Structures are given as C-alpha cells and as structure tokens.
Structure 1
Amino acid sequence: MEPIKHEEGIFYMEKDGRRIAEITYAPAGDGTINANHTYVSDELRGGGVAGQLLDALADYAREKNLKILPSCSYVVAKFSRGSKYDDVNALAK
C-alpha cells in the first residue's frame, strides 16, 4: 500500500507519479473544514483506502482542533454509520 501524503487541502496516495486516491477539504470558517471530495482509483476500490484517507483527515482535524463538515457523499455516509467520527463531525449532536 502506498503511503498517505498531505498537502494543504488534500490527503492523497500516489503511484508511479500519478494520484491514485484522494480526499480533499477546504476551510469552512468557525474552526471547521469541508470534506468535499473523495476519489479512489479502480485498482484500489474495495480495499479500504477511502476509509484510510478519511481516518487521516479525522486525525488531522483532531490535531488542529477542527470539526469536519461532510459534503462529500462518501464522508456523509461514513459519518452517518456510527460514532467513530462524532468528535470531529460538525453536524453531530
């Protein structure tokens, strides 16, 4: 498995110089970031890569004391399935 890399606004994996998976975010104000896009290449789908990227984003949010606003359909679905991310979910009650 390729390592997860981080640059401002994106966590991603590369292979042979091409991006094969990513989750992107943007500042959303008031200590929140908007998780707005997730992509995993066909070769990695079904292998839990999107979850690893979301975990990396959640860890980043915890480190920076941020909340995540889920607008990407993948993140919305993951946030609705349990409490693993409640501490960083901007919409959690």
Structure 2
Amino acid sequence: MSTQGTLGRASFFGSTNSQHLFRVNAGVPIEDALETVSLLQHYVNQLTLDAAMSDDGERYSWCALYLGEMAKALLDDVNDSMFALRAKP
C-alpha cells in the first residue's frame, strides 16, 4: 500500500466569478480516494439508469452530474499525485 496522498489541486463547481466552490483535500490516502471514486461512480451509474428509465428523469440527472463532477475531481487529483510521485528523483 502506498502512503502517497492527494495534493488538493483539483476542484469542481465553479461560481460565476471563477472561484471554485469545492476542492479535494490534500493528504487523503490514494486508496481511500480511489475507493470513494468507485462509490461515486456506482451511484452516478445508478442515477443515470434511473433517469433513462423514468419519465421524471431530470430530477435524477442533476444528482448524477454533481456526483460525476466529484468523482472526476478526485481522479484528477489522484492522477496529479501519482505523476508527482514518479517525478521525484
């Protein structure tokens, strides 16, 4: 298991003045971040399926969008962290 953690660089949901509303915290263990990404993506998939199968799909699609943005930010931060680890001499 790696002791590498997230860098806290990735953010999501920007406001109108280009400030980000949410950011990944630095120092989250990579394994925990990836487990969370997996869970978030599972719920995105479930909500997307529900949206596709329901006449009221719009109420599911916004939840899926938000969870998907969270998952992407975590993956981006894990990716940055892994590249930073490889770049160290």
- Aligning the two structures, in what range does the TM-score lie when normalised by the shorter sequence? 0.3 to 0.5
TM-score scaled by structure 2? Answer: 0.37
TM-score scaled by structure 1? Answer: 0.36
Rg larger in structure: 2
Going by fraction, where is helix more abundant, 1 or 2?
A: 2
